[in-house]
Structure formats: C-alpha cells, structure tokens
C-alpha cells in the first residue's frame, strides 16, 4: 500500500470540527486510534511492535539490535494541524520498510510520542525523555489544560518515563522524512531536500496577575487588567524579533481567566515561542520581551511571572549522512528549518538526518498544509532507496 493510500486511511481520525484540520493529542481517542492503526499496519508487514517506557512506538523488522536503521516521525498534531506534519514520515517509513529485502542491520519504524507538545506543552517529549534531554521529574509534573499530570497519564498507560539508554543505544542511524513547513522547496523549485540544521528554539510561559472586576462598573483609572501587559508582549514579540536576523517570536496561545466578555480578567497565561538561528541570541531576545512585559505589567499595576518551559540548541544533522542523502537523491538541495523535530533531539546522540517533501502552500500547523500525491510518492521512494542502500 502506497504512502498516499496509507494517509488516506487515517484522513478522518481526529478531525477537529471546531478548529478545522486535525487535533490528535497524546492518548486522546484520536491518538490512541492512530496507535492501534500503526500497530496493525506494522503487524501486516511482519514487524514486531513495542512501546518503550516513554510511549514511543517501535516496529521492528527482525530482531531489535544495535546499529539499527530507524526511520519515522510522529502521529500527534498541534491543535487544528495539517494532515502531513508527522504522519507523512510514519507512512513513508512503513511503505519503505515493506519494500526492503534482507537487510544486513536491524531496521525499525518509529512513531514518537507528544512531538508537538500539544497536550503537555513541551515539544518532542518522547525523544527528549528517551535521550535524557529533559529531567523525568520535571516531565512527570507537567499538566495538561485540564490539570491532569503527565505522571497520571503515563502511570495509567503503564509507562515509566525516563532516559532509555537501551533504546537509544540501538539506533545506528536515524532518518525522519517530513513535510516541509515553509516555502523553502517551492522557492527552490525542488520536490525534495535534505535537512541541514534546526534553529535554536524554546517556549516561555508568562503569567500576569491583576484584579478581576466588572467590565461596566470599574472605572478605567481603577483597573489592573492583565490583558494590557499580555497585549504588550504580543506586540513586543513581533517588534523585537524583527530586529534580529532570522528570528521568529510568536504568541499563539493566550488564556485569560476566568474568561467572560463582561469580566476584567484576573490572570492571563500566555506562551511565547521564540526561535533564532544563533544559539546565543534566543535568550537575549526573550529577555528583551520579558523587560517589555515587566514594564507594561508595572504600568497597569499587575504582577508577572515568567518561566522557561523548553529550550533546544541549534541542531546540525550528521554531515556524512547528509552527503549520502544528497548523492542518493541526485544532488537534492539542503535546507535549514525553523521547525523543531525529534530528529534534531536525536542528532545530539546519534547520526541523524531529515528529508523534506515540498509543501506547495508553504503553510503548516494549519489545515492548509499540503503535499501533492506525486511528491508524497517521490519522498516515500527516496526514503525506500536510502533505506535499501544503507541497510542491504
């Protein structure tokens, strides 16, 4: 079954009628359905499926062992995400493995857990736990928007999150195929590219506290409205990021509480996503935005607390693997990206690389994310070629 038809099989799973697109979050009904679907598809291909201590799914061709060629991506999504971010790499990996004959090293398809941080807020949680990039105690204390902890959810699933040296030690090469998330390949006029770097990025939570009050009865001069400094952060993020070469800063999530039209909020939580191509520019940019937040909070008589929820340094994919990929793909271009990936987390530990498939809309993390069928099949064929060359 082709990558296109595999994607078609899951086209209705987790469709979000409110936001549009897909919402598939760790262990929600849609994500569970995808786990079962993945397991079934893997079994049909003669692969043995295991779930590691962090909830990542591994489908092994033959015996699990060292120096394995591991390929895959993730099945979860952002809220209201596209059909390709994650699943494209998983279905392409399943397709590629199906065509493989007599590999000379172990081969596995992987689906990482909670790549988007859509439920617990920290991206690449499955790969960060696996590699020890996040302290398990910190991960276990994370809460979803309903207040349920990662500790509760993983205990219920029979998982014991933590660094997994045995699983990590088996990976000899990791390759993730992914839909391109910007206009890089459209501009290059190429269907495929080899990943070069993932820029440094992180997430920061700002909590503003003011005085909840009546929207009609409270004089403007008497207000301590936390929405004012929150709005200042939104504007400062754009203004300050536009002064730093290649920087991006975004507030995509902002929660005023209690959340009534005729109620001045008592608190506002907002999350800042900041990314800069140079490691030593990210935190200074966030510091400047934080200063703007403190000034605006003081002006309105509000308090602000800021905490770093995640941070990943610039990741550079393995140069030897990149060269092999470019050769095998007939001189495909290389592309840096501002999007985070599990491959970038793994790159600090094992030879890791990425292949990108052209996205004609240039839109991602939104329903308009797209890849033409021909390009999907090109990507899957390229992955199969690479897999054959590097494992037979």
Report the binding-site residues for Zn(2+). 74, 85, 116, 178, 365
By beta carbon distance, the residue nearest Mn ion is: 85
Q: Would you count residue 86 as binding Mn ion (CB under 5 A)?
A: yes
CB 369 within 8 A of CB 178: no
- Give min distance, CB of 339 to ligand GLV, in A: 4
Binding mask 189-228 for ligand GLV (x = CB under 6 A): ----------------------------------------
Peptide bond preceding 258 in cis form (omega within 30 of 0): yes
CA distances from 194 to 105, 111, 112, 201, 343 (A): 23, 20, 21, 20, 12
Sign of the four-CA dihedral 95, 96, 99, 102: negative
- Give min distance, CB of 71 to Mn ion, in A: 14
* Residue 86 touches which of ligand GLV, Mn ion, none (Cβ within 5-8 Å per kind): Mn ion
Among 14, 82, 118, 123, binds ligand GLV (CB under 6 A): 123
Residues at the annotated binding site for allantoate? 203, 262, 275
Q: Which residue lies nearer to Mn ion by CB, 72 or 86?
A: 86
Exposure class string for 319-329: b at 16+ Cβ within 10 A, else e: eebbebbeebb
* Residue 123 touches which of ligand GLV, Mn ion, none (Cβ within 5-8 Å per kind): ligand GLV
- Give min distance, CB of 344 to Mn ion, in A: 11
Among 140, 171, 304, 339, binds ligand GLV (CB under 6 A): 339
- Of 319-338, which residues contact ligand GLV (CB under 6 A)? none
Q: Which residue lies nearer to ligand GLV by CB, 195 or 340?
A: 340
* Residue 31 touches which of ligand GLV, Mn ion, none (Cβ within 5-8 Å per kind): none
* Residues in binding contact with ligand GLV, number by CB under 6 A: 4
Q: Which residue lies nearer to Mn ion by CB, 86 or 136?
A: 86
* Residue 180 touches which of ligand GLV, Mn ion, none (Cβ within 5-8 Å per kind): none
- Give min distance, CB of 79 to ligand GLV, in A: 12
- Give min distance, CB of 88 to ligand GLV, in A: 13
Among 116, 225, 300, 318, binds ligand GLV (CB under 6 A): 116
Q: Which residue lies nearer to ligand GLV by CB, 251 or 329?
A: 251
At a CB cut-off of 8 Å and minimum separation 6, what does 73 contact? 86, 87, 88, 89, 90, 93, 110, 111, 112, 115, 176, 177, 178, 341, 342
CA distances from 92 to 87, 112, 172, 304, 381 (A): 8, 15, 19, 45, 8
Residues at the annotated binding site? 74, 85, 116, 178, 203, 262, 275, 365
Among 72, 161, 256, 340, binds ligand GLV (CB under 6 A): 340
* Residue 340 touches which of Mn ion, ligand GLV, none (Cβ within 5-8 Å per kind): ligand GLV
Q: Which residue lies nearer to Mn ion by CB, 217 or 220?
A: 217
The stretch near Mn ion (CB under 5 A) out of 59-67, 84-92, 298-306, 354-362 is: 84-92
Q: Would you count residue 342 as binding ligand GLV (CB under 6 A)?
A: no
Token output for 105 = 């090293």
Q: Which residue lies nearer to Mn ion by CB, 236 or 249?
A: 249
Q: Would you count residue 114 as binding Mn ion (CB under 5 A)?
A: no
Which residues in this chain contact ligand GLV in the complex, by CB under 6 A? 116, 123, 339-340
Which residues in this chain contact Mn ion in the complex, by CB under 5 A? 85-86
């Amino acid at each position: 079954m082709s990558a296109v038809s595999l994607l078609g099989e899951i086209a209705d799973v987790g469709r979000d009628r409110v936001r549009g697109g897909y919402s598939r979050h760790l262990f929600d009904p849609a994500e569970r359905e995808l786990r079962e679907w993945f397991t079934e598809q893997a079994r049909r291909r003669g692969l043995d499926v295991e779930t590691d201590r962090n909830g990542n799914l591994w489908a092994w061709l033959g015996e699990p062992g060292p120096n394995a060629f591991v390929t895959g991506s993730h099945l979860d999504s952002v809220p209201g995400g596209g059909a390709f971010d994650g699943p494209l790499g998983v279905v392409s990996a399943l397709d590629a493995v199906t065509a493989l004959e007599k590999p000379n090293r172990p081969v596995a398809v992987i689906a990482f857990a909670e790549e988007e941080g859509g439920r617990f807020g920290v991206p690449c949680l499955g790969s960060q736990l696996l590699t020890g990039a996040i302290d398990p105690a910190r991960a276990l204390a994370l809460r979803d928007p309903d207040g349920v902890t990662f500790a509760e959810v993983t205990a219920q699933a029979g998982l014991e999150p933590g660094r997994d040296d045995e699983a990590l030690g088996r990976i000899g090469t990791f390759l993730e195929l992914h839909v391109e998330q910007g206009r890089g390949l459209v501009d290059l006029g190429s269907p495929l590219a080899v990943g070069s770097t993932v820029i440094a990025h992180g997430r920061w939570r700002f909590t503003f506290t003011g005085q909840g009050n009546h929207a009609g009865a409270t004089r403007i001069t008497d207000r301590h409205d936390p929405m004012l400094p929150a709005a200042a952060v939104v504007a400062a993020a754009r203004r300050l990021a536009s002064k730093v070469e290649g920087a991006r800063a975004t507030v995509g999530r902002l929660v005023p509480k209690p959340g009534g039209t005729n109620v001045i909020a008592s608190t506002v939580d907002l999350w800042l996503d900041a990314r800069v191509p140079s490691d030593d520019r990210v935190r200074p940019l966030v510091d400047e935005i934080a200063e703007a937040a403190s000034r605006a909070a003081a002006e309105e008589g509000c308090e602000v607390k800021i905490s770093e929820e995640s941070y990943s340094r610039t990741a550079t994919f393995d140069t030897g693997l990149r060269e092999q990929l470019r050769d095998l793909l007939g001189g495909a271009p290389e592309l840096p990206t501002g999007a985070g990936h599990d491959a970038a987390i793994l790159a600090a530990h094992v030879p890791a690389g990425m292949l990108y498939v052209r996205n004609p809309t240039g839109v991602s993390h939104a329903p308009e994310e797209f890849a033409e069928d021909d390009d999907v099949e090109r990507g899957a064929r390229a992955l199969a070629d690479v897999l054959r060359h590097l494992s037979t």
